[in-house]
Every structure is written in structure tokens, then in C-alpha cells.
């Protein structure tokens, strides 16, 4: 981490110490909010032909890749294709938090409607390109979640799947209250500038406590404590 970023974090802490009650209340609110809006992402009731017609061979150590169609609406369309880990077309792997198994959004995969959780739906929307398809790997869709044998050996391949990905795209969740922090950092970090947090926040129409709240929200994102992150 760059020195000036460390300095900003230290100043956030000093501000919190000057107003411990407010900071504590903000942290409690952030924790409660995160728990209240825990993001789900689990594929349920998949249509068996979707996977049976795109069967994987353990001996060939292949995977399914999600080809995400371009678009800008809330409707997500994509295709599953079987590919080798070293396929020259490549793929980007998504790292995210599954959350509870309650589906909330339908997506179309090879013409079949499937329900996925809020977290993956938002991630796919965020990573979708407006004018060309994008090849992605997301375990909840690319692995047949009703096939325990397939899940077992695909999980064994997980490290290789992420290692061979062209890019690992981390999805931390909805923007939430982190927007003020990134507006602030976007202004100061690229310039390697030293700043007065309270004064510069005011110039952006923000209060320093808003930045502290956003920093707490960002730091408490479930992804940072997710067990699978180390392997990915």
C-alpha cells in the first residue's frame, strides 16, 4: 500500500478517536447493514439437459465457461461451453461471496431460465460488456451443483482454474456506502497527494465521518474473511 494511503487511513483512525461514540455507532450500523443485506448466490433447480449436453470429462480436466452476452439491461443472457483450461480464447474467473441460497434473479443460459442469487446477478451485470461477449467462470453456474461427483473433482481443480484464468475479477458486493470513500481516493491517490481529510472531504460535499463509515463498510465486506479467497 502506498505511504499516502496509509496516512489517510491513520487520519481516519484519529478522527474516529476524536468521536468514538459516533464511530462506534457507525460501525454497528455498518455491521448490521451487512448482515441484513447478505448477498445470495446459489443456483437451484437447474435443468439437467443444460449440463448433461455439456458434460465434463474428468480425465480431460476440462471446465465449462460462461459466455456472457453483451447488453445494458437487467436481463442477463449467456451460454455455457465446454473448454480446456488452456483454451487460447481464455476466460476470467469471478471471485465472490455466495451468501444464502435464496435465488432472486432469473438469467437465461443456453435458452434455459435459471435462478441465481443477488450477488452473482449484480456481478454479472457489472462485468458485462456493452458491445461484445465476455468469457467468465463462476462456480455456481459453471459447475453442476446437483452433481456431487462433478462438484468434488471440479473443486479439486479450483486452484488450477484460477491460476489459468486471464484475470481474476473480485466482486465485493453492492456499492453501498463505500461510494464516498472511492470518490475521495479517486481524487487524491492518483496524484500521490497528502491531504487534510476533513477539509478535502468538505470540498467534495462530504463529512469525514462519511469517509470513516465508508472505510468501515469496505473493510467489513464478507469477501475479506471468506475461506476460499486464499485458494483463489
Helix (H) / strand (E) containing 11: helix 3-18
Q: What is the dihedral of CA 37, 42, 46, 52, to 10 degrees?
A: 160
Q: pLDDT digits over 127-139, tens only?
A: 999 999 999 999 9
Overall residue count recorded for the chain in this entry: 232
CA distance 186 to 200: 12
Q: Which three cell numbers stand for residue 37?
A: 443485506
Q: pLDDT digits over 119-162, tens only?
A: 899 899 999 999 999 999 999 999 998 899 999 999 999 999 99
Domain parsing of the chain, residue ranges: 3-37+177-220, 48-170
Q: pLDDT digits over 195-210, tens only?
A: 666 666 666 656 666 6
Q: What angle do CA 89, 156, 161 make, to 5 degrees?
A: 20
Helix, strand and coil percent figures for the chain, each rounded to 5: 45, 15, 35
User: Which pLDDT score, from 0 to 100, does residue 218 have?
Assistant: 72
Query: Cβ(121)–Cβ(88) under 8 Å?
Result: no
- Residue 116, pLDDT above cutoff 50: yes
- pTM of the predicted model as reported, rounded to 2 decimal places: 0.64
Amino acid at each position: 500500500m502506498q505511504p499516502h494511503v496509509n496516512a489517510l487511513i491513520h487520519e481516519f483512525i484519529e478522527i474516529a478517536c476524536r468521536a468514538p461514540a459516533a464511530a462506534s455507532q457507525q460501525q454497528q450500523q455498518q455491521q448490521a447493514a451487512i448482515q441484513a443485506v447478505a448477498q445470495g448466490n446459489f443456483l437451484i433447480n437447474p435443468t439437467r439437459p443444460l449440463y448433461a449436453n455439456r458434460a465434463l470429462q474428468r480425465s480431460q480436466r476440462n471446465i465449462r465457461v460462461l459466455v456472457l452476452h453483451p447488453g445494458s439491461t437487467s436481463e442477463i443472457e449467456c451460454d455455457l461451453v465446454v473448454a480446456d483450461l488452456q483454451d487460447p480464447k481464455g476466460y476470467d474467473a469471478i471471485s465472490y461471496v455466495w451468501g444464502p441460497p435464496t435465488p432472486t434473479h432469473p438469467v437465461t443460459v443456453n435458452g434455459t431460465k435459471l435462478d441465481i442469487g443477488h450477488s452473482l446477478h449484480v456481478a454479472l451485470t457489472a462485468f458485462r460488456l456493452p458491445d461484445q461477449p465476455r468469457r467468465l467462470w463462476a462456480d455456481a453456474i459453471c459447475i453442476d451443483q446437483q452433481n456431487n461427483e462433478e462438484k468434488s473433482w471440479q473443486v479439486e481443480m479450483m486452484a488450477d482454474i484460477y491460476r489459468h484464468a486471464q484475470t481474476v475479477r473480485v466482486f465485493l458486493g453492492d456499492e453501498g456506502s463505500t461510494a464516498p470513500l472511492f470518490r475521495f481516493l479517486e481524487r487524491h491517490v492518483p496524484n500521490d497527494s497528502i491531504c487534510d481529510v476533513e477539509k478535502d472531504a468538505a470540498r467534495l460535499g462530504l463529512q469525514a465521518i462519511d469517509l470513516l463509515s465508508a472505510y468501515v463498510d469496505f473493510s467489513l465486506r464478507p469477501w475479506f474473511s471468506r475461506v476460499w479467497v486464499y485458494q483463489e
